[in-house]
Amino acid sequence: MRYIGWMKQICRAHLGLLAAVALSLTALATAPARSATPVDLELVLAVDASSSVTQWEFELQMRGVADAFRDPEVQGAIQAAGDLGIAVALVQWSGRDRQVLAVDWMQVFDPSSAEEFAAQIDNAPRYIVGGSTALGNAIAFSYDLLTFNAYEGRRRVMDLSGDGRTNQGIQTSKARDRVVDQGVIINGLAILNEDPSVDAYYLGNVIGGFGSFVMTAIDYNDFARAIRLKLLREVAGPPLARGPGESDGELAGDTGERHAQTASGGVAGLQSPAGRGM
CATH number at residue 123: 3.40.50.410
Q: Is 87 left (phi over 0), alpha (psi -120 to 50) or beta?
A: beta
pLDDT in tens, the chain (278 residues): 444 444 334 344 433 433 333 333 233 333 334 589 999 999 999 999 999 999 999 999 999 999 999 999 999 999 999 999 999 999 999 999 999 999 999 999 999 999 999 999 999 999 999 999 999 999 999 999 999 999 999 999 999 999 999 999 999 999 999 999 999 999 999 999 999 999 999 999 999 999 999 999 999 999 999 999 999 999 998 875 544 433 333 333 334 555 554 333 322 233 333 333 34
Q: Is residue 190 part of a domain?
A: yes
In a domain, 76, yes or no: yes
Report the alpha-carbon distance of residue 90 to residue 102 in Å, rounded.
6
Rounded CA separation 259/121 (Å): 28
Question: Which pLDDT score is estimated for 277?
Answer: 37
Report the pLDDT value the prediction gives residue 244, as an integer from 0 to 100. Answer: 40
Are 187 and 216 contacting, i.e. CB atoms less than 8 angstroms apart?
no
Tell how strand 185-191 and strand 151-162 pair up: parallel
Burial of 182 (0-12, 13-18, 19+ CB in 10 A): middle
The answer to whether residue 57 sits within a structural domain is yes
pTM of the model: 0.79
| Residues in CB range of 168: below 8 A, 6 or more apart | 95, 96, 132, 133, 134, 137
Looking at the domain assignment, is residue 51 inside a domain? yes
Number of domains within the chain:
1
Buried b / exposed e along 25-38 (16+ C-beta atoms within 10 A)? eeeeeeeeeeeeee
Check residue 4 and give its pLDDT: 42
Range of the domain at 78: 39-240+247-259
Tell me which DSSP letter residue 205 carries.
Answer: I
User: Is the residue at 235 inside a domain?
Assistant: yes
**271: which strand partners?**
277
